[in-house]
Amino acid sequence: MKIQKYDTPFGLISLCIPLFFFFVSCSGINKAQQATNSSAPYFNNPVFTTALADPTVIRDPKSKLFYAYGTQVNWGDDQGIRFVPILESKDMLNWKYVGSAFSDKPSWKKAGSIWAPDINLLNGRYYLYYSMSTWGDPNPGIGLAIADKPQGPFIDQGKLFDSKGIDVPNSIDPFFVQDNGKNYLFWGSFDHSNKQGTFAVELTKDGKSLKAKHKTKIAAGDFEAVTIYKKQDYYYFFGSKGSCCEGEKSQYHVLVARSKELLGPYLDKDGKDIRERGNGTLVLIGNNEIAGPGHTSAVVLDDKGKEWIYYHAIEKKQPRIGNKTNRRILFLDELIWEEGWPRIGPGTANLKPIIKPTVINR
């Protein structure tokens, strides 16, 4: 078994994960954490235990409620496939299932599942960018659905582009960014070909199509699941490496780089360009109990301005749902900053009590 070591701000960490199996009840209602449901000022991860892979989270400015979306899933509860499950929360911690973004798969691609959605509020409406792909798909693509409310119904707008059309292999994992009055879409996933990598492209003002096919390479093809966050003078790139979906053997982990320009170049703490494979500064990794933490959400601010980030991870003792689906459950940690560089919580999937986010529901 290969062991990869990282010299990080929180010590030398070895990435190596063994194998187990599990059974889990999948009611769609969170049964996770006693501390979260009490009056204590702390909560414990995970914050949703059924499964919510590739999380994306937004707060509705009208209701002040939070909504989380994830990759399509069958929870093994005889309800079939949920085509992008939608969760709702008053406090960022206690989540309930309120429906699915789609009643059926989009029709623009014959084969594929809806993966890694990205929710945004644009022009007063809710834009859900999403991937359509199969494992090893030679031509995955990215689409868009729009709703008037965060809980839907979402109306599919069709395909923005696919791998063959944009000339980028494994075109999945969209992430929308609005910067200086312009709309951009970042995307990309693992690949070893000459055209591999994470890229960015400008969108039209309505966010429904490409302004042009010109694209900018952001990171090498050993990254996927990009998140971009602007803080003070820098844009921060968070990306996942390693295997996402091998149960307790999953090796997902998150690294960061930063740039003074949205379109890069993004450099890690050692000054290395992440357009070259093997670079990036480690900010989140698994441990003896938790495998494969990664695919971060956009940064969410609480009502005191604290920065929080969601991600999925896998409990080694219960790595799969009864139908053998990887049980990627929802975690939440605060972003911690030291000399202009972030880490996610303590730098490893956090199971210790955490001070709750401040949420004021007016």
pLDDT tens digit sequence for 16-41: 433 333 333 333 444 444 445 557 89
For residues 105-134, give the mean pLDDT: 97
Torsion-angle region of 121 (φ positive above 0: left; ψ -120 to 50: alpha; else: beta)? beta
Sign of CA dihedral 15, 19, 24, 28: positive
Q: Residue 277 pLDDT > 50, yes or no?
A: yes
User: What are the angstrom distances between the C-alpha of 18 and each of 69, 219, 311?
Assistant: 29, 29, 21
pLDDT tens digit sequence for 284-296: 999 999 999 999 9
Confidence grade of residue 1 (pLDDT, cut at 50, 70, 90): very low
Residues 6+ apart with CB under 8 A from 319: 20, 21, 22, 247, 248, 250, 291, 326, 327
Confidence grade of residue 212 (pLDDT, cut at 50, 70, 90): confident
CA distance 238 to 289: 23
The pLDDT, as a whole number, for residue 94 is 97
pLDDT tens digit sequence for 42-101: 999 999 999 999 999 999 999 999 999 999 999 999 899 999 999 999 999 999 999 999
Torsion-angle region of 247 (φ positive above 0: left; ψ -120 to 50: alpha; else: beta)? left
CA distance 73 to 269: 37
Nearest by Cα to 236 from 170, 168, 175: 175
Greater confidence, 21 or 195? Answer: 195
CA distance 274 to 260: 14
Q: What percent of the chain has pLDDT over 70?
A: 89
Nearest by Cα to 53 from 84, 28, 27: 84
The pLDDT, as a whole number, for residue 185 is 98
CA distance 281 to 271: 10
Structure tokens that stand for 165 in this block: 């059309």
For residues 166-188, give the mean pLDDT: 97
pLDDT tens digit sequence for 243-273: 999 999 999 999 999 999 999 999 999 999 9
Range of lowest pLDDT (2-6, 58-62, 308-312, 352-356): 2-6
The pLDDT, as a whole number, for residue 38 is 58
Q: Residue 4 pLDDT > 50, yes or no?
A: no
pLDDT tens digit sequence for 125-149: 999 999 999 999 999 999 999 999 9
Structure tokens that stand for 8 in this block: 């990080």
The pLDDT, as a whole number, for residue 19 is 33
CA distance 121 to 298: 13
Range of lowest pLDDT (34-43, 157-166, 235-244): 34-43
Q: What percent of the chain has pLDDT over 90?
A: 85
Mean pLDDT over each residue of the chain, to the nearest integer: 91
Confidence grade of residue 15 (pLDDT, cut at 50, 70, 90): very low
For residues 5-16, give the mean pLDDT: 42
